[in-house]
Structure 1
Amino acid sequence: MSSVYFGAKTSLNRFAFLRPNADFIKSVIEYSGTRLVFYLREPLRNGFKILAHKSPDHPRIVYFPIDGSELVHEKMKQWAQMNAANSADLRLKTKITAVFLGLDEEPGSADSPLKDESVDPKEVFQFQNHSGVPLFAVDITDNEELCHDIIGRLKDVEYLANIDDIMNLSLIDSSIFSYGKMYLDWLYRNQYCPGCGSRVIPIFAGSKLQCTNEAKETDSRGNQVFKCPVRKTSVNNVCFPRQDPVVIIALRNSSSTKILLGHNARRKNLDEKFFSCFSGFMEPGETIEGAVEREVWEETGFKLHEKIQIVKSQPWPFPCCLMVGCVGTTDPGVDNEINIHLDKELDVCKWFDIDYVANLVYKRPTDGKIRLPYAGSVAFELIKMVIDDCKSKGRL
């Protein structure tokens, strides 16, 4: 299955094993062709917006050259020095949060974030046996001086915050947006250690958090260990980025003539026409199939009896989820047994004829009574997949 929708296509090589290498990061910062992607926090939407070239239909992310501003380059050098030293004052003194995203190994190619720019292969960044154009995501919200400097050097740019604009990004740009946004969102929301309450700092070029509490104690074996319950464990689930798995299910009937769609009760006064698939966060100890069975039963009253296929996935940066796309098929003779009164997440749940939804998917004339999720979202792709399969009399 090829990933060809929002947030799921990238040509970047992340080079995760080089993130802890201070010499590598220093070299990346010194390279004049390194590109920076700038974000601002958006309190009203509880998220982030990204700097892009203005366009009503096809906005493009600004990939700012690190040497495009002396102030920007000096600030990134300061960040690199403090990152190498694991400085507890990293965020306080630099007033930025930066994350190394990776190297674009084929700059200028069709799948490159820099496809519209001319990059001389002889001038790309080189480190050991690796080469490419480095990219960083940088949150500059708290650095007013940088914000003014960057905007003052660019024309016809704006920060994209509205989801309608974000969804108009190219497949490659949407992947960069999602990648950087999810890291920066995680770093912003986690500034204090959940084990001891001390301040935490980003290390490994922004890809890991470390508690700054240096206090130690003697364990039962006479060894000196950190007092903080987070720092004393070699592996834990709070020092590395979190991505919450969410199952999302397109549900069809046994004869493949109808698809079940629901309207979320929380959107009752916002968008009465919006109908979509069924979804929910996976819970600890659940398999994907188990989560699908539970969510479908809780929201619709139907029991799938393992008639489930896992077919697609998509990183979804609103806020920070991994959407696990599935298709489910109900038992024969139960189409009229809809029950939305268990968890009451839906206020409307209906079966729709395949032909009717196909007209919506392919933008043919309809009565306009409902609308589907954004094209490019995994919800839309699942609906389209089921429609196409039912029309061709296939079976996923």
Structure 2
Amino acid sequence: MTSLQLGAKEEMVEKFLDAAARGDLTLVSTLLSHVPSLINQKGDSGWTGLMLAARNGHFGVVEALLSQGCDKFLVNSSSQTAYDISKFWGHRNISNLLSRTDEGCQRVLPGSDLHQQENYFSREMLDRLSGKRADKVWMEAKRSDPGTVYLLFSNLNPMISSSKEDEDNRVESRLCRFRFEAVKDLLQKPQTLVIFLGVEKRKTPFSSSSSSSSPLQTEEVTQEPPAWFAISTDEDAAELLKRCREKHSCFPKLPHRDLLKLSEEEAGVVAQARSVLAWHSRYSFCPTCGSSTKMEEGGYKRRCLNSDCRSLKGVHNTCYPRVDPVVIMLVIHPDGNQCLLGRKKIFPTGLFSCLAGFVEPGESMEEAVRREVEEESGVKVGPVSYVSCQPWPMPSSLMIGCLAVAISTDIKVDENEIEDASWFTRQQVTETLLKGPRPALTIPPRQTIAHQLIRHWIGMNSNL
């Protein structure tokens, strides 16, 4: 393509994006009729015409772009979709339009939002096929299948490879994947743990751009989709890394930071694998009688080897992987324009986040929210509303995200729990979201449910 042709194309894209931003439906339609490929073109900071129209409240343009098949799930450089943008700027009619999954979908709860919040670590790219876990013949066939994908874990962390993106100098991490031939020696070792993760979903094929010692071959046509397994071994990490052909492979040393650099799809796989492996690392002995246990059902059950153990009679929850429920809540001031955030001593300077705590036995989610907020900050809470949840594989928690309305405002911090807590205005939080960290306030990264709760509150037009 000549520089003249390139210049004409860039000019056409700029003209289209400007028309979408101004709400010029006639010009948008005319340009698309001549150059249909403009519909998903991106401009500055990765903004599409749909995003610009959503930002400025141009319902007609948004409706037209959707009707012509634009991709509403594209994200800009701030990882915002058009839906996120419309919610943030309070264009409820547009956000409702963007949240619809089909024409027959109707609102079923007063004031509820049809948009299903998907948090980091939550995406399911694999069909878990739990019904196949006890099928030993099928499982063994999948383990030795040449198309099967294996992930290597050491000390609960997956082997990853990293590369720098040129544009923003960001580090992107990918899982290193192996075939059966590359790991069959590990599978034969008695101390190796092998966890069945599932098979690839056909409707959402996974990119195989990140290869390992045995590159994935998307050309292969098989009757069944590839199965995925996670391997945990006590072999020296440095020796394991020699198996990978990627230049910059490693096992993360700071999972709370490094695992947030994976793609949404791979993060979901890691959440499943890491949580199950963490359970095995803690339950190698029977919690009921103290005897040794063995792994069964693809890694989703442990059976006590003591034939007299009562865990072998009936169903016992100690035999299956554990998940710890944690409430994490954004507390809203009674005036509706402030939120309560706290910080721990281990947080970087200026970082504040939502309050959080474990749900206790026999306690409801709502009561856990009220108890934890009062214990940590001294603030009393009234109404509690569920927003969304997030698996958090460090080691195996389910973060239950809520909004809560305060019925008292005086703060008295329990210094054993947190270092500080404060009310922050909507304007302070909005400026931090739009412009980045401020001297007095930094909020958690977008991959955390705390960030998403804060963004959800900013996008609300009114209080609970």
The residue number in structure 2 matching 1:97 is: 193
The residue number in structure 1 matching 2:413 is: 340
Q: Secondary structure at the match of 2:424?
A: strand
Q: Secondary structure at the match of 1:184?
A: helix
Cα distance per residue 1:216-246 (max 9 Å; x no partner)? xxxxxxxxxxx212223x1111100000000
TM-score by length of 2: 0.68
More strand by share: 1
Note the C-alpha offset of 1:16. Answer: 0.5
The residue number in structure 1 matching 2:109 is: none
1:229 and 1:387 map into 2 onto residues whose CA distance is: 52
Question: Is 1:258 aligned to residue 333 of structure 2?
Answer: no
The residue number in structure 2 matching 1:352 is: 424
Q: Is the 8 A contact 1:52 1:62 kept in 2?
A: yes
The residue number in structure 1 matching 2:310 is: 229
Residues 1:153 and 1:280: Cα distance change in structure 2 (over 3 Å)? closer
Q: Is the 8 A contact 1:259 1:354 kept in 2?
A: yes
Cα distance per residue 1:92-145 (max 9 Å; x no partner)? x52211100000032872xx264765523632xx4xxxx3110001112x234x
Q: Secondary structure at the match of 1:95?
A: coil
Residues 1:50 and 1:153: Cα distance change in structure 2 (over 3 Å)? closer
The residue number in structure 2 matching 1:179 is: 272
1:350 and 1:108 map into 2 onto residues whose CA distance is: 43
2:277 and 2:228 map into 1 onto residues whose CA distance is: 14
Question: Is 1:143 aligned to residue 223 of structure 2?
Answer: no
The residue number in structure 2 matching 1:221 is: none
Question: Is 1:361 aligned to residue 454 of structure 2?
Answer: no
Unaligned runs of 5+ in 2: 1-114, 165-170, 211-215
Question: Is 1:303 aligned to residue 380 of structure 2?
Answer: yes
Q: Which of the numbers 358, 375, 382 marks the counterpart of 1:281?
A: 358
Same amino acid, percent of matched pairs = 26
The residue number in structure 2 matching 1:122 is: 221
Q: Is the 8 A contact 1:53 1:158 kept in 2?
A: yes
2:203 and 2:195 map into 1 onto residues whose CA distance is: 20
The residue number in structure 1 matching 2:327 is: 247
Aligned-residue CA RMSD (Å) = 2.2
2:388 and 2:278 map into 1 onto residues whose CA distance is: 24
Which structure carries more relative contact order (alpha carbon 8 Å, separation 6+)? Answer: 1
2:192 and 2:390 map into 1 onto residues whose CA distance is: 28
Q: Secondary structure at the match of 1:59?
A: strand
Give the counterpart letter for 2:184 in structure 1.
H
Residues 1:289 and 1:200: Cα distance change in structure 2 (over 3 Å)? same
1:271 and 1:322 map into 2 onto residues whose CA distance is: 24
Residues 1:27 and 1:37: Cα distance change in structure 2 (over 3 Å)? same
Give the counterpart letter for 1:326 in structure 2.
C
Question: Is 1:385 aligned to residue 462 of structure 2?
Answer: no
The residue number in structure 1 matching 2:367 is: 290
Cα distance per residue 1:60-85 (max 9 Å; x no partner)? 11121223x2xx22543x4xxxxxxx
Q: Is the 8 A contact 1:195 1:229 kept in 2?
A: yes
Cα distance per residue 1:289-316 (max 9 Å; x no partner)? 11111111212222222x1100110000
Give the counterpart letter for 2:118 in structure 1.
V
Note the C-alpha offset of 1:374. Answer: 2.0
Question: Is 1:62 aligned to residue 153 of structure 2?
Answer: no
Residues 1:19 and 1:304: Cα distance change in structure 2 (over 3 Å)? same
Q: Is the 8 A contact 1:104 1:113 kept in 2?
A: no
Q: Is the 8 A contact 2:241 2:250 kept in 1?
A: no
Q: Which of the numbers 51, 73, 89 marks the counterpart of 2:184?
A: 73
After the TM superposition, which segments of 4 or more aligned residues of structure 1 sit over 6 Å from their partners?
Answer: none
Q: Is the 8 A contact 2:174 2:262 kept in 1?
A: yes
Note the C-alpha offset of 1:155. Answer: 2.8
Residues 1:311 and 1:108: Cα distance change in structure 2 (over 3 Å)? closer
Q: Is the 8 A contact 1:275 1:373 kept in 2?
A: yes
The residue number in structure 1 matching 2:140 is: 26
1:212 and 1:294 map into 2 onto residues whose CA distance is: 41
1:148 and 1:189 map into 2 onto residues whose CA distance is: 25
2:446 and 2:399 map into 1 onto residues whose CA distance is: 15
Residues 1:147 and 1:97: Cα distance change in structure 2 (over 3 Å)? farther
Q: Is the 8 A contact 1:107 1:119 kept in 2?
A: no
Q: Secondary structure at the match of 1:273?
A: coil
2:176 and 2:117 map into 1 onto residues whose CA distance is: 24
The residue number in structure 2 matching 1:53 is: 161
1:207-226 matches, within 5 Å, as 207-214=300-307
2:402 and 2:123 map into 1 onto residues whose CA distance is: 20
Residues 1:315 and 1:297: Cα distance change in structure 2 (over 3 Å)? same
What is the aligned length? 337
1:115 and 1:155 map into 2 onto residues whose CA distance is: 12
Give the counterpart letter for 1:320 in structure 2.
S
Q: Secondary structure at the match of 1:36?
A: strand
The residue number in structure 2 matching 1:17 is: 131
